[in-house]
Amino acid sequence: MIHQFEAAIRQPTRARKIALAIIASAIRETGVIMQPQPCHQDPSGHRNPSHKNQSGHKNPIPTVDIIIETPGGIVLIQRRNPPHGWAIPGGFVDYGESLETAAAREAMEETGLRVTIVEQFHAYSAPDRDPRQHTITTVFIATADGAPSAGDDAAGLALFNPQDPPRPMAFDHGRILADFVRYRKGAGRAEIFYGSPDHGP
């Protein structure tokens, strides 16, 4: 509706009046004017979408994290901005973007690596996993070659053995890496996430 309104006010006077009358009639019938979804930036400059939908209800924000396996270990970044600590590369999913595309984009922005996504690992949705707001992250496992380099919002970047990650870890990334290590040792997803043994990953 916003786009129709903007187009209408650019019309000549007579056409504008007709167009506005049609829009006003539609508003009276539906009672709704669609507003663009606000998007903010956190101190790191990353997109930080509003968590309120058009009806005013709060919804969790979708994010992605990418466990990047390299010959020298997994890639972790040291966050420059709160919450501080070491973290798995990742970030917010843009509107109109698939989870896989967001994962590849965030990996490139934060590590400089062009990754190959191997599989979707798990979704983590605890309301307190991100102290800033309720987010749901979809974690991917990916591989990459080459030398990673820290993006502008990172205080540092290094390769680690996932069984011996640095401290402190931001968000719930310590748990994610612990789950990943169990998975790499042969535990199945049902056993890891739901306490039921199954027949492997």
- Closest by CA to 157, choosing from 58, 106, 86, is 86
Residue type, 169: M
Average pLDDT of the chain? Answer: 84
Instruction: Work out the average pLDDT over 30-35.
Output: 48
Q: How far apart are CA 86 and CA 65, in angstroms?
A: 13
Q: pLDDT, tens digit, for every residue of 159-186? A: 999 999 999 999 999 999 999 999 999 9
Please indicate whether residue 5 or residue 28 has the higher confidence score (pLDDT). Answer: 28
Q: pLDDT, tens digit, for every residue of 71-98? A: 999 999 999 999 999 999 999 999 999 9
Whether the upstream peptide bond of residue 82 has omega within 30° of 0, thus cis, is: no
- Closest by CA to 155, choosing from 170, 145, 144, is 170
Q: What share of the chain is helix, strand, coil (3-state, %, to 5)?
A: 30, 30, 45
Q: How far apart are CA 153 and CA 155, in angstroms?
A: 7
Percent of the chain with pLDDT over 70: 71
B/e letters for 4-33, b = 16+ CB within 10 Å, e = fewer, are: eeeebeeeeeeeeeebeeebeeeeeeeeee
- Quick one: pLDDT band at residue 23, thresholds 50, 70, 90? low
